[in-house]
Amino acid sequence: MGVTEYVKFVDVTKCDGCRACMVACKNWNDLPAENEGFHGSYQSHEKLTANTWNVITFMEQETKDGGFEWLFRHMSCLHCGQAACEKACPESAISHTEFGSVVIDADKCVGCGYCVQNCTFDVVKLATYKDKNGKEYRKAQKCTLCTDRLEEGLQPACVTSCHTDCLVFGDREKILKEAEARLAKVKDRFPNANIYNPEGIGGTTTVYLLADKPSVYGLPENPKIPLSQIVWKDYAQPIGKAMLGVTTMAVVGAFVSNSLFNKKDSDKGGHDHEQK
């Protein structure tokens, strides 16, 4: 028997914006509440933060008859097949699990922020902590796909809380086949509906059925891993560590990340990021 591949499927056409997934995520991961000021919409949080790992976005869209309807999206880490955050990390603190989730090892993370700078979807954030002496330090944080729950045979917390079946998790092949059938059903209502699972980043473990083009939701249409990151992570870093040692490579990594991996670098090709 082959190894089971998993997927978290998000059908935005079923989402009613209840935010139960947000509450479940906060509760399970023991994330602190964050005070949010009014920012001109029904959306409870403007964007993802180090302590808010999923947000329901609210967008109004005009209908054919001149009315309007809400377009909702469960915004969280997509767990890229080729994760830019993983390739940018000079400490090998980011890795893939058997479930396809991309996780951050807090013990290895040094808070350099290169993963934040290079995340394809502007998901990874830095949290600030204080040690026993009051000195501040930073750690990168984001959605883990509830890998700790998956290891115990449980579903992600957000999935268990969804009352509309907008969120489902399980066998990748089976769910994606069902996703294609669902896409065909919603095409009459949403002509631009599509399955968002970008090949340029090796696909994603969080796959969407979107009601409109990715750009409408603030997602890049065709994201790709910059060649500079591939060369750095897969070739330069392993060779350099062997020759120069880990400490020296950390310094080199700072230079390479700042000069090659900046989001404004031409390698990004003007890709859009998450809308606020």
Contact 59, 134 (CB under 8 A): no
Residue 60 lies in a domain: no
Q: Residue 179's pLDDT band (boundaries 50, 70, 90)?
A: very high
Residue 42 lies in a domain: no
Nearest Cα neighbor of 202 from 183, 230, 228 is 230
User: Can you give the residue range of the structural domain that contains 254?
Assistant: 226-269
According to the model, what pLDDT value does residue 225 have? 81
Residue 250 lies in a domain: yes
Residue 184 DSSP class: H
d(CA 46, CA 57): 8
According to the model, what pLDDT value does residue 39 have? 63
Q: Per residue in 19-28, pLDDT tens?
A: 999 999 999 9
According to the model, what pLDDT value does residue 233 have? 61
Q: Which residues pair with 195 in a beta bridge?
A: 209
Mean pLDDT of 200-229: 91
Residue 235 lies in a domain: yes
Residue 240 lies in a domain: yes
* Identity of residue 272: D
Query: How many CB atoms within 10 Å of residue 250?
Result: 15
Residue 246 lies in a domain: yes
Which single residue is written with the structure tokens 């809308």?
A: 275
What does the DSSP assignment read for 113-165?
Answer: -HHHHH-TTS--EEEEEE-TTS-EEEEEE---TTHHHHTTTPPPHHHHH-SSS
Residue 239 lies in a domain: yes
Which single residue is written with the structure tokens 């990874």?
A: 124
According to the model, what pLDDT value does residue 123 have? 97
Residue partners of 11: CB distance under 8 A and separation at least 6: 165, 166, 168, 179, 182, 208, 209
Quote the pTM value: 0.82
Contact 275, 57 (CB under 8 A): yes
- The domain tally of the chain equals 1
According to the model, what pLDDT value does residue 232 have? 57
Q: Residue 273's pLDDT band (boundaries 50, 70, 90)?
A: very low
Residue scoring higher pLDDT (215 or 231): 215
Mean pLDDT of 240-255: 56
Q: Which residues pair with 55 in a beta bridge?
A: 75
Q: Per residue in 112-135, pLDDT tens?
A: 999 999 999 999 999 999 999 999
According to the model, what pLDDT value does residue 72 have? 95
Residue 79 lies in a domain: no
Residue partners of 211: CB distance under 8 A and separation at least 6: 12, 13, 71, 186, 190, 192, 193
